[in-house]
Structure 1
Amino acid sequence: MSDTPHIPAQFTAETLSEALPYIQRYDRQTVVIKYGGHAMVDEALSEAFARDVVLLKHLGVNPVIVHGGGPQIASLLDRLSIKSEFRDGLRVTDDATMEVVEMVLSGPINKSIVRAINKAGGKAVGLSGSDADMMRVKRATRTTRDPDSHVEQVIDLGYVGEPEAVDVAVLKLLTNYDHDFIPVIAPVGVDANGKRYNVNADTAAGAIASALKATRLLLLTDVAGVLDGKKELIRELQADDVPALVRDGVASGGMIPKLETAASAVKNGVGGAVILDGRAKHALLMELFTEHGAGTIVL
């Protein structure tokens, strides 16, 4: 056997050694991860995500997963010939759509993520925001200004909810180191009358991160992060920068709830919120355990 270490092995060892300060930083800290987009539907990426989540747990991090499911919901709605539309990045949800949303989110999507994490060696538990009355919501309201009359009009989003209160007792119980479970949460909440509501997954993740006072909120998406007018990555933002980005059109569509969620979370006690590219393999590890991180961090 040669006395010279094998180069790939040495590189791996050096990488692990360089990650030590970051591993220490997140030891026994809670990280809420919004999982969605391409990372969920690409088999190789979903397997890598599951392994990375299990690795986080073994490194002393408390990962809490909140997942979306837009493409899968859209696919079933199409098959059932149910029309659906988006306004300001939020799916307008009527009774028929809500039936599909809950069925898909709390059913096959949630359980497929649970199975993947368990297969990778973790102990995942599938939940809905309805379980243990975790996510109490109110009906979401949005307004838009008519371009001709300049009169503000209320947008009816149907059964779309905004988190009003989050009870994290069951999450604290599950993530306690005596149990070591990894919660996987479908973003369906209930109002005071027990009526179910569709909650944007980014918004749900932000509310849960705020309630847990998480060290980090990681929002996986299908772009590199927040891009400026020249389509270049903005690496760092302050929460107070967000309204101007939305007003000026730099952020639009689905990026609006992500940025609003990130800004709200850091103002409510989350250490930092990061919008990062879920299409990049090991995006979670790059963000948490390397010097420069990945994506756009809102502080």
Structure 2
Amino acid sequence: MNDETKTPAHYAASTLSEALPFIQRYDRQTVVIKYGGHAMVDEALSEAFARDVVLLKHLGVNPVIVHGGGPQIASLLERLGIKSEFRDGLRVTDDATMEVVEMVLSGPINKSIVRAINKAGGKAVGLSGSDADLMKVRRASRTKKDPDSQVEQLIDLGFVGEPERVDVSVLKLLTDYDYDFIPVIAPVGFDGEGKRYNVNADTAAGAIASALGASRLLLLTDVAGVLDKDKQLIREIRADDLDGLIADGTVSGGMIPKLETATNAVKNGVGGAVILDGRAKHALLMELFTEHGAGTIVL
């Protein structure tokens, strides 16, 4: 039978057959997915993402989702008339802002993802980093060098946290095959005094993936992956190469913290971290179940 006589059913069967080795590779493996960007706000992409996550579960994968929500938070802050303060380009999270952050992340965003997955046939459960001692954090701080004195100055970002300890016992219970739940996690953590903090979703996903010993960390973003100086996709990066890529200008801007998260996760036991284009439909399936993947993998 030549290609001209093949039906759509033949192509579908062929694709499934070719995917078999990759399905076997990820059987009973945990994959942590950072969900954000355009994929979250585009209705068609959101529905496709939910279906793909349910498919992963049925194929034997344990998906764990950590989501962001920056645009939705900014929108509600504007509607409520709460002005954001920025220090050295970074948003300061004060009490009023933190109230909105937790409301949006743990409320409508988290539950909309849960509903979409359940509608697609899965069993999703919404959590935040505050539930079951999942994510204990420390107050984050940044420094910048004063241009005149060259002295490092501390930048107080308010209630912005960095993961200090991750207890994944509740995630292991939920993803056990006796229950088959899909955790959906809002990146809100707490410190030793019980104060709540906003955590960058990439950072939270990396910390959770490391604590779970995940086979893969998938960071959905709004670009195809890491591009070289000729704007061509770099398929693979070794963790030790990051400093050189930053130094020669290949990696810059917002891609730097994403790659830092990816390399830290790999160095802490994650099998591989992938930066991939969340705007591409079925990006998760292409990355996990095809030979060349769909983004840039850090190993």
Deviations 1:81-132 (A, max 9, x none): 2222566885421111111110000000000000000000000000000000
1:249 positional shift: 4.8
**Counterpart in the other structure of 1:66:** 66
What does 1:120-199 correspond to in 2, within 5 Å?
120-199=120-199
User: Is 1:135–1:167's contact at 8 Å kept on the other side of the alignment?
Assistant: yes
Label 1:232 to 1:114 Cα distance change in 2 as closer, same or farther (>3 A): same
Task: Map 1:274-289; keep pairs closer than 5 Å.
Answer: 274-289=274-289
Which residue is 2:98 aligned to? Answer: 98
Contact 1:69–1:105 at 8 Å: present in 2 too? yes
Give 3-state SS (helix, strand or coil) of 1:285's partner.
helix
Q: 1:190 to 1:49 in 2, by over 3 A?
A: same
How many pairs were matched up?
A: 296
Structure 2: 5+ residue runs without aligned partners?
A: none
Alpha-carbon RMSD: 1.8
Cα distance between partner residues in 2 of 1:72 and 1:270: 30
Amino acid at match of 1:159: F
With normalisation by structure 2, the TM-score equals 0.94
SS of corresponding position for 2:285:
helix
SS state of the match for residue 157, structure 2?
coil
Match of 1:157, SS state, is strand
Matched, 1:240 2:259: no
Provide TM-score, normalisation by structure 1.
Answer: 0.94
Looking at structure 2, the residues matched to 247 and 89 of structure 1 have their Cα atoms a distance apart, in angstroms, of 22
**Which residue of structure 2 aligns with residue 222 of structure 1?**
222
* Aligned mates of 1:249, 1:157 — CA distance in 2: 28
Residue number in structure 1 paired with 2:212: 212
* CA deviation map 1:182-206 (0-9, x unaligned): 0000000000000000000000000
Task: Quote the Cα distance in structure 1 between the aligned partners of 2:125 and 2:5.
Answer: 41
| 8 A contact 1:88–1:254 mirrored in 2 | no
CA distance in 2, matches of 1:117, 1:57: 11
Structure-1 separation of matches of 2:89 and 2:227: 17
**Structure 1: gaps spanning 5 or more residues:** none
Return the offset for 1:62: 0.2
CA contact (8 A) 1:89 1:257 kept: no
- Report which stretch shifted further, 277-286 or 7-16: 7-16
Offset from partner CA, 1:140-162 (integer Å, 9 cap, x none): 12222334543322222111100
The CA deviation string for residues 55-89 of structure 1, in whole angstroms up to 9 with x for no partner, is 00000000000000011011111112222256688
User: What is the correspondence of 1:9-48 to structure 2 with a 5 Å cutoff?
Assistant: 9-48=9-48
- Could you tell me the percent identity over the aligned residues? 85
Contact 1:89-1:253 within 8 A present in 2 as well: no
